[in-house]
Amino acid sequence: MAIKKGSSPLRVLADLSLFFCILLTPICSATPATAPATLLQVKSSLTDPEGVLSGWSPEADVCSWHGITCRPGEVGIVTGLNLSGYGLSGVIPPAIGGLISVESIDLSSNSLTGPIPPELGMLESLRTLLLFSNSLTGAVPPELGLLKNLEVIRIGDNRLHGEIPPQLGNCTELETLGLAYCQLNGTIPAELGNLRRLQHLALDNNTLTGGIPEQLAGCASLRVLSLADNMLQGTIPSFIGSFSDLQSLNLANNQFSGGIPAEIGNLSSLTYLNLLGNGLTGAIPEELNRLSQLQVLDLSMNNISGKLSIFAAQLKNLKYLVLSGNILDGAIPQDLCASDSSSLENLFLAGNNLGGGIEALLNCGSLQAIDVSNNSLTGAIPPSIDRLSGLINLALHNNSLTGVLPPQIGNLSNLETLSLFHNGLTGEIPPEIGRLQKLKLLFLYENQMSGAIPDELTDCTSLEEVDFFGNHFHGPIPERIGNLKNLAVLQLRQNDLSGSIPASLGECRSLQALALADNRLSGALPETLGQLAALSVVTLYNNSLEGPLPESLFQLKNLTVINFSHNRFSGSLVPVLGSSSLAVLALTNNSFSGVIPAAVARSRSMVRLQLGGNRLTGAIPAELGNLTRLSMLDLSLNNLSGDIPVELSSCAQLTHLKLDGNSLTGSVPSWLGGLRALGELDLSSNALTGGIPADLGNCSGLLKLSLGDNRLSGSIPPEIGRLTSLNVLNLNKNSLAGAIPPALRRCNKLYELRLSENALEGPIPPEFGQLSELQVILDLSRNRLSGEIPASLGDLVKLERLNLSSNRLGAEIPPSLPRLTSLHLLNLSDNLLSGAVPAGLSGFPAASFAGNDELCGAPLPRCAASSAPRPLPGAEVAAIVAGIAAVSAAVCVALLYTMLRVWSNWRAVSVSSSDGEESAHGGGRDKWGAAAAGDGKYWKVGSPVSSSAEEKHSSGSETSVLRGKSTEAAGAAKS
What is the reported pLDDT for 221? Answer: 96
416 vs 393: CA distance, rounded Å: 6
- What is the dihedral sign for C-alpha 321, 327, 328, 331? positive
Whether residue 927 has pLDDT greater than 90: no
pLDDT tens digit string along 502-550?
A: 999 999 999 999 999 999 999 999 999 999 999 999 999 999 999 999 9
Calculate the alpha carbon distances from 769 to 77, 286, 321, 961, 962 in Å. Answer: 99, 68, 65, 21, 25
Q: What is the mean pLDDT of residues 42-67?
A: 94
Single out the residue of 777, 789, 781 nearest to residue 822, CA to CA.
Answer: 777
For residues 905 and 243, give the distance between their C-alpha atoms in angstroms, rounded to a whole number.
Answer: 140
Q: Which residue has the higher pLDDT, 131 or 29?
A: 131
204, 226 Cβ separation under 8 angstroms: yes
DSSP 525: P
Task: Give the β-pairing of 46-47 and 89-91.
Answer: antiparallel
Is the pLDDT higher at 88 or at 905?
Answer: 88
pLDDT band (50, 70, 90) for residue 864: confident
- Residue 292's SS3 state is coil
Q: What is the DSSP string of 548-603?
A: EPPGGGGG-TT--EEE--SSEEEE-SGGG---S--SEEE--SSEEEEEPPGGGGG-
CB 216 within 8 A of CB 195: no
Q: Residue 712: enclosing H or E segment and its boundaries?
A: strand 711-712
Q: Please give the pLDDT value at position 890.
A: 53
Mean residue pLDDT across the chain: 88
Measured between alpha carbons, how far is residue 791 from residues 458, 587, 795, 812, 922 in Å? 71, 48, 8, 10, 48
For residue range 713-752, what is the model confidence (pLDDT) as tens digits? 999 999 999 999 999 999 999 999 999 999 999 999 999 9
pLDDT confidence tier of residue 965, bands split at 50, 70 and 90? very low
pLDDT digits (tens, 9 = 90+) for 413-437: 999 999 999 999 999 999 999 999 9
- H or E, element range at 882: helix 874-901
Query: What pLDDT is recorded for position 886?
Result: 53
Long-range contacts of 44-52 (CB under 8 A, 24+ apart): 44/93, 45/90, 45/91, 45/92, 45/93, 45/95, 46/88, 46/89, 46/90, 46/112, 47/88, 47/89, 47/90, 48/86, 48/88, 49/86, 49/87, 49/88, 49/89, 50/86, 50/87, 52/83, 52/86
What pLDDT score does 883 carry?
A: 52
Would you say residue 15 has pLDDT above 90?
A: no
pLDDT of res. 942: 28
**pLDDT at 64 > cutoff 80:** yes
Distance CA 46, CA 51 (A): 11
Kindly write down the DSSP assignment for every residue of 310-367, as one continuous string: --TTT-TT--EEE--SSEEEEEPPTTS--TTT----EEE--SSEEES-SGGGGG-TT-
Q: Is the pLDDT of residue 559 over 70?
A: yes
> What's the pLDDT tens digit per position in 786-807?
999 999 999 999 999 999 999 9
Q: Distances from the Cα of 494 to the Cαs of 359, 407, 518, in angstroms?
A: 32, 25, 5
User: What spatial distance separates the first Cα and last Cα of the chain, rounded to whole Å?
Assistant: 88
Query: Tens digit of pLDDT for each residue in 432-467?
Result: 999 999 999 999 999 999 999 999 999 999 999 999
Give pLDDT, residue 903.
34
From CA 468, how far away is CA 495, in angstroms rounded? 8
DSSP-based three-state secondary structure for 698: helix
Average pLDDT over residues 859-881: 58
Of residues 116 and 925, more confidently modeled: 116
The more confident residue out of 897 and 287 is 287
**Predicted pLDDT at 93:** 96
Q: Tell me, what's the pLDDT at 25? A: 38
- Confidence (pLDDT) at 391: 98
Q: Give pLDDT, residue 75.
A: 78
pLDDT confidence of 103, banded at 50, 70, 90?
very high
Q: What is the pLDDT of residues 272-281, one digit of tens each?
A: 999 999 999 9
- Mean pLDDT across the stretch 215-236? 97
Looking at the whole model, is its pTM more than 0.75? yes
pLDDT of residue 551: 97
Q: What percent of the chain has pLDDT over 90?
A: 83
Residue 892 has pLDDT above 90, yes or no: no
Q: Mean per-residue pLDDT for 664-680?
A: 97
Residues 129-178 have pLDDT tens digits of: 999 999 999 999 999 999 999 999 999 999 999 999 999 999 999 999 99
Cα–Cα distance list, 293 to 309, 319, 858 (Å): 17, 11, 91
**Residue 571 C-alpha from the chain's centroid:** 38
Residues pairing with 128 in the sheet? 104, 152
Alpha carbon distance 960, 267 (integer Å): 61
Strand duo 346-348 + 320-322: pairing? parallel
The more confident residue out of 314 and 299 is 299
